[in-house]
Amino acid sequence: MAALGLALASSLAGLFATARRPALLRGLSLPLFALSGLAALACGLLALADGGSITLQLPLGLPWLPWQLRLDALSGFFLVLLGALTLAVGIYGVGYVRDFERGRDQLPPLGAFSGLFLLGMELVLMADGAYLFMVAWELMTLSSYFLVAFQHDNAANRRAAFLYLLMGHISGLCILLAFGVLASFSGSFAFAAMRAAHPDFLWASVAFALAFTGFGIKAGLVPVHAWLPEAHPAAPSHISALMSGAMLKVAVYGFLRVVFDLIGPLHWQWGVVVLTVGSLSALLGVLLALMQTDLKRLLAYSSVENLGIVFIGLGLSLIFLGTGHRLLGALALVAALYHALNHALFKGLLFMGAGAILHSAHERDLDRMGGLLRRMPWTGTFFLIGSLAISGLPPLNGFVSEWFTFQAALQTWQLHSGLLRTLIPVAAAVLALSAALAAAAFVKAYGVAFLGRARTRQVRRARQVPVNMRVGQGLLALGCLAAGVFPSTVIAWIVRVPQSLLGSGLPQAGAQGWLWLTPVSPTTASYSAPGVLLALLVLAGLTAWLVHWGAVRRVRRSDAWDCGLAPPTPRMQYTATGFAQPLRRVFGAWLRVDEGVDAGEGATPRHRLQITDRSWALFYAPVVRVLDRLTRLVTRMQAGHLRVYLAWTLGTLLLLLWVVTL
Amino acid sequence: MNAADTVLAVAQALLWPLAAPLLVGWVRKAKAMLQNRRGASVLQPARNLGKLFAKETRVAHTASPLFRVTPYIVFTATWLAAAAVPLLSTRLPTSALADVIVVAGLLGLARFFLALAGMDVGTAFGGMGASREMMVSGLAEPALLMAVFTLAMSAHSTNLSSVVDHQLAGGTLLPSMLFALGSLILVAVAETGRLPIDNPTTHLELTMIHEAMILEYSGRHLALLEWAAQIRLLLYGALIANVFFPWGIATTAQPLALGIAVGALAGKLLVLGAALAVGETVLVKKRLFQAPAFLNLAFLFALIGLLSHVILEQGM
């Protein structure tokens, strides 16, 4: 519990220190930020190791609604995730914010709201009652709104921040209503009482639908994801890393807490909904990511995809648990949690990489980058590790969680319902497709940004980033490697979550020792990540040795092949737009692609390409229209005369009195 | 897992790079015969590799270190992926090390680096090859995984040795298997860069996919990449041969059983190679944007196979 206190104290101290003197942001606030992350990490590990739950009463809150904190395995897991990322972000941020010191941006809000944002996330994870949960949730949402609006000189950023605020409030409202439904059955806002009460199927489903909508908005699921690709790129990069890596996971935590822990018995029908939405998010997220040329937007859309994968895992888990397969439910849950952890690691790393490019080349547009690997070898190497991990390639961590999700999906034969047996393989197909497309998206991002030749002078002159930025990235890259190569160890920790939540772990997962990963049984499937890495290294060594001794070793540098025509210029390279063109044609129907050539009278013809998210036209526009019509109706009341308003007030009062007396 | 199995696994792993050029040689020979040519010896691809290893390597001025490590990564990852596929015997410790999803992942790793290396030098052709390759593989990989899942679901295992064992015990080709086979053949054609998706013998840069990515490579680097491509062809051949027609594969480490397995494998690969040659002789290369239709067919086959398995054949 000492760690818990430190976590809170350091984020608060970070807040006040910066508020007084801007220069302290680097010297005090961000180190404290990192310390808080470390404390959260330790705290989470303690909670996971302990297995039980620890509660603590805060001397705050309302007299009849005390703020109670509780740490169990689920909170512990997400605290580890948050803490690890915060630690890296804190170290990285020290270098990154130096850019802002010279600029016109106000530093105190950055430090203050970063601290509050972290405090909010930590409190959400530890809250043991709906009241504290909602307060912390709103703290998280509001403080991150100010972080998104940090560079508010730019109109696009203001718009993004407003959209974010709006969606954040709808999300908060849904969650509040979900808690309301649960509280009406339990008679109390404390989680312990909600856990004990079991609403009937109808009301439980209402609560589920509200919670799924609320947390789904925050997690950026399709079709309510539109705020995410606007808001994440607008924030400073280290905050983007935290928002994408950690805040979306806090939404996953909330979903898990409410649905798996509080509502009561689970129903497989919910799983079908979650699985469908998850699959759609995965596919649309990756398609839109593939089409982006702004590196940070690409990463943001890829977050939509990855959260989709997490929710595919959660949906599978709900289906298995709802049909009484506890072991398989635990398997799918572990897959989802593993992917959540992995996403925090690699998305944090990639956003930091994007921030490093922004820091030294002042460029976010992929089509203007190129050749950065030679200018920034460390960032280039770390970004490569992140790209490999996010593309789900062995032996890195993204592969392990996708492998786990596939293994869970392959257990469909144990179900009896024909519908489910059809649906789950289709979801697995979608997962396979989105994993393959993610690889394409990150070949594009890495290839265009780091390889080839620089396309602009600014990028050609990019310099290495300061050492602490490299350390921050390096930590997460190490985390990606470790979580990829030692999955059994990681799973031995994660498995405590289903153990405490569902009462069922994965007895087989590490039964063959730390070398082997056998989710169901050794004959069903096995993967030995250390073995694969070792075999790769041995074979690579053997190949290199044979080639070294057997082949001609002479290497001559020469010009690239130019077909015997003019030497290639950097402008001849494939751009990000060009790279995605074949896939844009194949999947054009899923996106809104507006492409053509504008050739006016005498003007030089220009290629026009605009890709918009279909959810705007299909989902948002109708909602906006309906709202618009409703508000028009309401404006009829607005006559501008005081006596009319007084009459309305009187009428309302009478109506309320009548309702009360009923 | 005993010492004999381990020795056998190492021997099989070493067999892959040795046998791969022969299969390519046979396909070329068969193609030549179909075109009324005598054709080069079956050993010619192996000789070509030797020739490339003996040449000096040229690296573009603009290439980064990634360009130089890629051949080694591609070769190693492909080799390891192959080593997890049962070639002669189902008693294969390496197939427990890496199941079929890992095999697909390792091939994906090789492809990822190959595509990056294509973009590394900064010429138009490399980027073009990379972009096309990622499109083809992006569509082929889900089909591959779906086809494999059909097998995995009926065998209740994703370990290839167990799948082959299950197929040996089962004996009949169920409808879902036929669909999976169809899908896997289409995927294999696309993933190994054969007609009608890609032309391995083209010399026109604009029509190339795989060749465009490795256009800048020469000498020993090119040798490693070509060798890896040959291993990949053998991998898909052995996968189709041993999973769908497992007869003859050794289930024990007895010399006699292994001898039979060598003969059976050679026979199956001769037939498959000849079929590929016939296919490449009668088909023409499709336009790039007809490739998605081809791969969608593969994906549909795989999906139908999977659905017919989970709906019709459950409990069989």
pLDDT-derived band at B33 (thresholds 50, 70, 90) equals very high
Q: Does the beta carbon of A552 lie under 8 angstroms from any beta carbon of chain B?
A: yes
- Which positions 415-434 of A are in contact with B (Cβ < 8 Å)? 418, 421-422, 425-426, 428-429, 432-433
Contacts of A516 (CB under 8 A, 6+ apart): A488, A510, A522, A526, A527, A528, A531
Q: Do B145 and A453 touch (CB under 8 A)?
A: no
More confident residue, B285 or A310: A310
Q: pLDDT tens for residues A82-114? A: 989 999 998 898 888 777 766 666 677 777 788
Phi–psi pair at B128, nearest 5 degrees:
-65, -45
Which positions in chain A touch B126 (Cβ < 8 Å)?
A: 574
CA A477 to chain B, closest CA, distance in angstroms equals: 17
CA atoms within 13 A on the CB side of A269: 8
- Which positions 356-395 of A are in contact with B (Cβ < 8 Å)? 370-371, 373-374, 384, 388, 391-394
Q: pLDDT tens for residues A585-611? A: 888 877 877 888 887 777 788 888 888
Q: Does the beta carbon of B286 lie under 8 angstroms from any beta carbon of chain A?
A: no
Question: Which residue type, as a one-letter code, is found at position A59?
Answer: P
Q: Does the beta carbon of B2 lie under 8 angstroms from any beta carbon of chain A?
A: no
Q: pLDDT tens for residues B131-158? A: 998 988 888 888 888 888 888 888 888 8
- Which positions 137-196 of A are in contact with B (Cβ < 8 Å)? none
Over residues B48-72, mean pLDDT: 90
Number of Cβ within 10 Å of residue A354's Cβ equals 26
Q: Do A579 and B153 touch (CB under 8 A)?
A: no
Q: Does the beta carbon of B60 lie under 8 angstroms from any beta carbon of chain A?
A: yes
Size of interface A-B (CB pairs under 8 A): 268
pLDDT-derived band at B211 (thresholds 50, 70, 90) equals confident
Q: Does the beta carbon of A253 lie under 8 angstroms from any beta carbon of chain B?
A: no
CA distance A94 to A91: 6
CA distance A243 to A241: 6
Q: Does the beta carbon of A549 lie under 8 angstroms from any beta carbon of chain B?
A: no
CA distance B43 to A550: 19
- Which positions 439-458 of A are in contact with B (Cβ < 8 Å)? 439-440, 443-444, 446-448, 451-453
More confident residue, B168 or A134: A134
Q: Do A560 and B122 touch (CB under 8 A)?
A: yes
Nearest to A519 by CA among A396, A390, A405, A392: A405
Which positions in chain A touch B111 (Cβ < 8 Å)?
A: 439
- Pairing between β-strand A555-558 and β-strand B57-60 as defined by DSSP bridges: parallel
What was the pLDDT predicted at A5?
63
Q: Over 80: is that where the pLDDT of A457 sits?
A: yes
Q: pLDDT tens for residues A135-165? A: 999 999 998 898 888 887 888 888 889 889 9
Q: Over 70: is that where the pLDDT of B290 sits?
A: yes
CA distance A375 to A377: 6
> Exposed, middle or buried, A599 (CB in 10 Å: 0-12/13-18/19+)?
exposed
CA distance A243 to A489: 27
Q: Does the beta carbon of A459 lie under 8 angstroms from any beta carbon of chain B?
A: no
Q: Which residues pair with A607 in a beta bridge?
A: A597
Q: pLDDT tens for residues A252-282? A: 999 999 998 888 788 889 999 999 999 999 9
Nearest to A111 by CA among A205, A30, A38, A204: A30
Q: Does the beta carbon of A540 lie under 8 angstroms from any beta carbon of chain B?
A: yes
Q: Largest Cα–Cα distance in chain B?
A: 61
Q: Over 70: is that where the pLDDT of B259 sits?
A: yes
**Which of B109, B183, B197, B300 is the best residue to mutate to test the A interface, defined by the most A CB atoms within 10 Å of its own CB?**
B109
CA A532 to chain B, closest CA, distance in angstroms equals: 7
Contacts of A509 (CB under 8 A, 6+ apart): A334, A488, A491, A492, A495, A517, A518, A519
Q: Over 60: is that where the pLDDT of A56 sits?
A: yes
- Pairing between β-strand A555-558 and β-strand A592-598 as defined by DSSP bridges: unpaired
Name the token pair of A418.
């024909």
Which positions in chain B touch A406 (Cβ < 8 Å)?
A: 101, 145, 149, 158
Which positions in chain B touch A531 (Cβ < 8 Å)?
A: 97-98
Q: Do B123 and A433 touch (CB under 8 A)?
A: no
CA B268 to chain A, closest CA, distance in angstroms equals: 27
- Pairing between β-strand A54-62 and β-strand A65-71 as defined by DSSP bridges: antiparallel
Q: Is the dihedral of CA A406, A407, A409, A413 positive or negative?
A: positive
What was the pLDDT predicted at A313?
94
Q: Please tell me which of the candidates B62, B73, B112 has its beta carbon nearest to residue A391.
A: B112
Q: Which residues pair with A62 in a beta bridge?
A: A65
Least confidently predicted of A128-132, A347-351, A633-637, B198-202: B198-202
Q: pLDDT tens for residues A298-319? A: 999 999 999 999 999 999 999 9
More confident residue, A152 or B35: B35
Residue of A nearest to B221 (CA): A547
What was the pLDDT predicted at A437?
92
Indicate the SS3 state at residue B16.
Answer: helix
Residues found in chain A: 662
Buried/exposed B176-194: b ≥16 CB within 10 Å, e otherwise: bbebbbbbbbbbbbbbbbb
What was the pLDDT predicted at A35?
81
Q: Does the beta carbon of B179 lie under 8 angstroms from any beta carbon of chain A?
A: no
CA distances from A113 to A10, A340, A439 (A): 13, 25, 35
**Which of A404, A586, A587 is the best residue to mutate to test the B interface, defined by the most B CB atoms within 10 Å of its own CB?**
A586
What was the pLDDT predicted at A511?
65
Q: Does the beta carbon of A541 lie under 8 angstroms from any beta carbon of chain B?
A: no
> Exposed, middle or buried, B80 (CB in 10 Å: 0-12/13-18/19+)?
buried
What was the pLDDT predicted at B316?
43
Q: Over 80: is that where the pLDDT of A424 sits?
A: yes
Phi–psi pair at B259, nearest 5 degrees:
-60, -45
CA distances from A234 to A37, A231, A295, A355, A358 (A): 23, 5, 12, 12, 12
Name the token pair of A310.
């997490």
| Residue whose token pair is 């990000």 | A576
CA distance A135 to A112: 18
What percent of chain A has a predicted confidence (pLDDT) above 90?
31
Mean pLDDT of chain B: 86
Indicate the SS3 state at residue A512.
Answer: coil
CA distance B245 to B184: 13
Q: Please tell me which of the candidates A391, A413, A525 has its beta carbon nearest to residue B159.
A: A525
pTM of the model: 0.92
Q: Do B64 and A556 touch (CB under 8 A)?
A: no
Q: Over 60: is that where the pLDDT of A19 sits?
A: no
Q: Does the beta carbon of A410 lie under 8 angstroms from any beta carbon of chain B?
A: yes
Q: pLDDT tens for residues B212-235? A: 888 889 889 999 999 999 999 999
**Which of A393, A414, A459 is the best residue to mutate to test the B interface, defined by the most B CB atoms within 10 Å of its own CB?**
A393
Nearest to A331 by CA among A416, A265, A404: A404
Q: Is the peptide bond before A507 cis (omega within 30 degrees of 0)?
A: no
Q: Does the beta carbon of A661 lie under 8 angstroms from any beta carbon of chain B?
A: no
Number of Cβ within 10 Å of residue A169's Cβ equals 15
**Which of A291, A399, A539, A549 is the best residue to mutate to test the B interface, defined by the most B CB atoms within 10 Å of its own CB?**
A539
Residue of A nearest to B315 (CA): A413
Q: Over 90: is that where the pLDDT of A415 sits?
A: no
Complex ipTM:
0.93
Q: Over 60: is that where the pLDDT of A1 sits?
A: no
Q: Do A561 and B125 touch (CB under 8 A)?
A: yes
More confident residue, A465 or A568: A465
What percent of chain A has a predicted confidence (pLDDT) above 70?
94
Nearest to B300 by CA among A413, A417, A426, A272: A426
Q: Please tell me which of the candidates A439, A568, A580 has its beta carbon nearest to residue B122.
A: A568
Q: Which residues pair with A555 in a beta bridge?
A: B57
Question: Which residue type, as a one-letter code, is found at position A543?
Answer: T
CA A372 to chain B, closest CA, distance in angstroms equals: 10
Q: Over 80: is that where the pLDDT of A622 sits?
A: yes
What was the pLDDT predicted at A562?
77
What was the pLDDT predicted at B88?
84
Q: Do A436 and B132 touch (CB under 8 A)?
A: no
What single string gives the DSSP state of each residue in A293-362?
-BHHHHHHHHHHHHHHHHHHHHHHHHHHHHTT-HHHHHHHHHHHHHHHHHHHHHHHHHHHHHHHHHHHH-
- Which positions 259-278 of B are in contact with A (Cβ < 8 Å)? none
CA B116 to chain A, closest CA, distance in angstroms equals: 6
CA distance B113 to B236: 20
Over residues A2-30, mean pLDDT: 63
Q: Do A418 and B311 touch (CB under 8 A)?
A: yes
Which positions in chain B touch A370 (Cβ < 8 Å)?
A: 122
Which positions in chain A touch B211 (Cβ < 8 Å)?
A: none
What was the pLDDT predicted at B274?
92
Over residues A45-70, mean pLDDT: 77
**Which of B48, B70, B85, B101 is the best residue to mutate to test the A interface, defined by the most A CB atoms within 10 Å of its own CB?**
B101
More confident residue, A110 or A24: A110
Over residues B176-188, mean pLDDT: 89
Q: Does the beta carbon of A546 lie under 8 angstroms from any beta carbon of chain B?
A: no
CB A570 within 8 Å of CB B123: no
Name the token pair of A597.
């050539």
Q: Does the beta carbon of B160 lie under 8 angstroms from any beta carbon of chain A?
A: no
Q: Is B217 left (phi over 0), alpha (psi -120 to 50) or beta?
A: beta
Residue of B nearest to A433 (CA): B142
